[in-house]
Structure 1
Amino acid sequence: MATDITAWSQMLALTGTAARRWEPKRLRLLLFSIAGYIAKRSRRVHLRLSGHAPHRALIAAALARLHNLPNLA
């Protein structure tokens, strides 16, 4: 199931980037290991990522693309 989630998130969130073709091992090394924490303020949930991560902008753009997908439920 984790492999399927990784493949779908690559297809949907990382379109148009080189990360779209990365192997799962490289995704774990460069994207999934970014330090961060979840902060709750004013009834909203925020994901705070480390400012020193080299691929911080890539994961932020991917999360924004996933957030903007239409809800089909």
Structure 2
Amino acid sequence: MKSTPDNVLTESEQTLIQKALINLCDLKREALEIARAADITIDGKELTESDFGISAIQMLLAKFNHV
């Protein structure tokens, strides 16, 4: 049987994790905006959401939304 958030975590634990991931994603987006406004680059390349792990957080959130 494949483990999913639904059969491993209680509903309140799932809610807590989702809220934490949403807050983390918001903070990382804000940090990305600040870095872009400051013209911070990596090897001359503009920073992207993946540099901040935003897409990975969104994928985790999607797993919770499909439960």
Largest Rg, 1 or 2: 2
TM-score (norm 2): 0.29
Higher relative contact order (CA 8 A, sep 6+): 2
TM-score (norm 1): 0.28
Larger relative helix fraction: 2
